[in-house]
Amino acid sequence: MKQLLYLLTILAAGLMLCACGGPSQESGAASANASASMSGGIASVEDDASKRNIVQVAVSSPDHTTLVAAVKAAGLVDALSNPGPFTVFAPTNAAFDKLPAGTVESLLKPENKTTLTDILEYHTYVGVIRTDQMRDGQRLNQVNLKNITISVQDGKVKVNGKANILASVPASNGIVHVIDEVLLPE
C-alpha cells in the first residue's frame, strides 16, 4: 500500500510538470524580451472594471487592425499597457494602405522588427497632449528620440504638415489621436 502511494506521488509530480509545460516556462520568462510576449506582462491582467487602455482602445477599433498587428509584432503590447501616460498617434488601416504595396507585409517580418519598432515609437509620446494643448510649430520628441512637428491652422491640427487628426479617444493610460497618415521618421 505504502509503495502504491509513493508511486502515486511520483505520478502526481510528473503530471504537475507536464500539465503546464514544465520548467521551460520559467526560463522562458527569464530570457524572453519583456515586451515580446503578451503572456504574463501587464497586458495580461484580467480587469473588466477599469477604463480601456491604449492597446485595448486600438484593439476595439475595426479601423486599426493593421496598427494592432504591428504593435504585436513589435512587442509593444505590454509597454503600451503600462501606466504611461502616452500620446499615441494611431494611423488607420486606410493610412497604412497609402504606403507603397508590400511595405506593411515587409515591416511585419521578424527581421524588420527594429525598423517597425522605430516607426511605432515615432508615433508615441510619453505624456498626455490633448489637441487643445497643441500649438502651431510645437515639436514633440517621440519615444524613438525623433521630433514630430505640430501645426495648427484655422483650428485644424496637422502632424508633420501632413497627417490630420480624425478623432481623439481618451484611454486609461493616455490618449489616442487617430490620424490618416503613417508618420515616417526621417
Partner 1 sequence: MKKFLWFAAGFALIVAALWQCKTKGAAGASSADAAQKVYVAPGTYDEFYNFVSGGFNGQVSVYGLPSGRLLKIIPVFSVFPENGYGYSEETKAMLMTSHGFVPWDDEHHIAMSLTNGEQDGRWMFANANNTPRVARIDLGTFRTVEIMEIPNSGGNHSSPFITENSEYIVAGTRFSVPLDNQLDVPIETYKENFRGTVSFIGIDPKTGHMNLGFQVLLPGINLDLSRSGKGPSHDWFFFSCYNSERANTLLEVNASQNDKDFIVAINWKKAEEYARAGKGKVKKVRYAHNIYDEKKHMATTKWEDEVIMLDPKELKDFVYFIPCPKSPHGCDVDPTGEYIVGSGKLAAVIPVFSFTKMQKAIAERNFEGEYDGIPVLKYDAVLHGEVKKPGLGPLHTEFDANGNAYTSFFVSSEIVKWSLKTLEVLDRVPTYYSIGHLCVPGGDTRKPHGKYVIAYNKITKDRYLPTGPELAQSAQLYDISGDKMKLLLDFPTIGEPHYANAVPASLIKDKSVKIYPIEENQHPYVAKGEHEAKVVREGNKVHVYMTAIRSHLTPDNIEGVKVGDEVYFHVTNLEQDWDIPHGFAIKGANTAEILIMPGETQTLMFKPDRVGIFPFYCTDFCSALHQEMQGYLRVSAPGSNVPLKYGTGSPQPPQ
Q: Which residues bind partner 1 (CB under 8 A)?
A: 1, 5, 8-9, 11-13, 15-16, 19-21, 23, 25-26, 28-35, 39-42, 45-47, 78-79, 82-84, 114, 117, 121, 126-129, 133, 139-141, 143-145, 147
Find cell 514544465 and name the residue. Answer: 22
Nearest residue (CB) to partner 1, 92 versus 160: 160
Residue with smaller CB distance to partner 1, 45 or 101 = 45
Q: What angle do CA 22, 24, 27 make, to 5 degrees?
A: 135
In sequence order, what are the residues at sequence separation of 6 or more whose Cβ sits closer than 8 angstroms to the Cβ of residue 71? 55, 58, 77, 80, 120
Report which residue type is found at 160: N
Read off the C-alpha cell for 147: 521630433
Least gap, CB of 117 to partner 1 (angstroms): 8
Query: Amino acid identity of 78?
Result: D
**How buried is 142 (Cβ within 10 angstroms: 0-12 exposed, 13-18 middle, 19+ buried)?**
buried
Q: State in angstroms the smallest separation of the CB of 110 from partner 1.
A: 16
C-beta of 185: minimal distance to partner 1 in Å?
A: 12
Please identify, using beta-carbon distances, which residue of 19 and 101 lies nearer to partner 1.
19
Comparing CB distances to partner 1, the nearer of 25 and 98 is 25
Query: Whats the size of the chain, residue-wise?
Result: 186
In this structure, what C-alpha cell is assigned to residue 19?
500539465
Pairing of strands 174-179, 86-91: parallel
The distance of closest approach from Cβ of residue 131 to partner 1 in the complex, given in angstroms and rounded to an integer, is 13
CB of 100 to partner 1, least distance (A): 26
